Structure 1
């Protein structure tokens, strides 16, 4: 895939595609699923692809998912005109169109035929590469709000590659998002001293800290009522935003915190900005939502 003349976003997309698809395909077979959040057939196909990829992991097969709304450039390179579209990639090149295989048996039959013709290495020969698409999938699912499914994906990665720190950290974040804070703490507590220093683990700690005191609906309603009774009460607004973050929200609390920063950035020693930065850290600085919200924060601070 040529990179000359690309803008920054296109270059990032190409780099991500290389990491998630091209590099693993040098020794294995990568199933690339082009999908979108609004696509009903895509959601029906996803569990089938995930199961088959897991069943064939020891044969060098991995799954990578490309959201056509977020990665328009990559989708355009593959001339994707409808979704779901599914390709098998080997050594950076499409070797089969798997789109018509909608059932587990159909997909396995096609994979068996492909694998019989290609010099695919066993999955254990490159464990770090093999789990990369699964890690990306786990992050995507967790960002989408399906914590329970993300727990399953990260747990599966840990079974395949127990020493994958990113999977351990992802599992901790997914457990925290699912309300299982004690279990999330246990995952991080079991890490060795070196792994505990990993930035992914720091992100997990930040995520756990934000949701540790998750409020029930009654408490959240009371905090909202207190704020609505006096919308100029900075403490009431901050308490509401903190509770919304602990409840797993990000849009509403970020709006509150940005408004507070714009009104009085120094209130309570910059508490609103600090809490917003904690939210960024927990979600991940590379997340598109974080990038967009950081631009809004910068416009307030430096505009």
Structure 2
């Protein structure tokens, strides 16, 4: 026999019995994104490098240019370590990359420009602060280009003079002159303009395409010949003979090495660009 049709109220009753009541419904708040911490070890090196640049500015404002040089060279040493420490401890992060760039801009962009202006460029008037500004602007442009091209540049070379080396070139010259007793540098004929051209050279070399060896393919995890350890010991002893002169000489040699490599590759018909791969984006072409 066919089953009798149930009244609509009965059907509704069954449906209402199966549906959960308001008390049984649980409301879940949307999950909040998990907070990401900051790796302390590499960022400690970066903060210490930033302090070195700030310390150098304060010392220059007080006329203590030898201590200012200590701050810049210490910042350069710490800057060379923070990235390696992050890679060796597997603590790389986007925060660390941005922090490193900001620290570099202060320690190797603004600080050397202010130090060299305070030392002698102020005596040249408008030409002096223009040279200091060109150096500072080139440091900013070099760091921006480095961050943009980081994925496509040959890791063995820097595209242009790295900012720590440019800072060491400018401040190293001040250190040598100060150590030689050139107090009141503006009183010596030719010294202000020589510093002017050195500052422009360091700044403009940062934004060239000349390839400067990066030393990034040097691994501390591989074994080295015994002679390498002896060479390191001799290098440390050489620097200790007279740190201002030796360090400035080393950075002068490094400051021209990129042009030598560029000319050598050009003569041999080898590619001179350090860009490993090309990009089709039109707004990126000028960066290469």
Taking structure 1 as the reference length, the TM-score comes to 0.26
> Which protein is bigger by CA-based radius of gyration?
2
User: Which structure is richer in relative contact order (CA contacts within 8 A, separation 6 or more)?
Assistant: 2
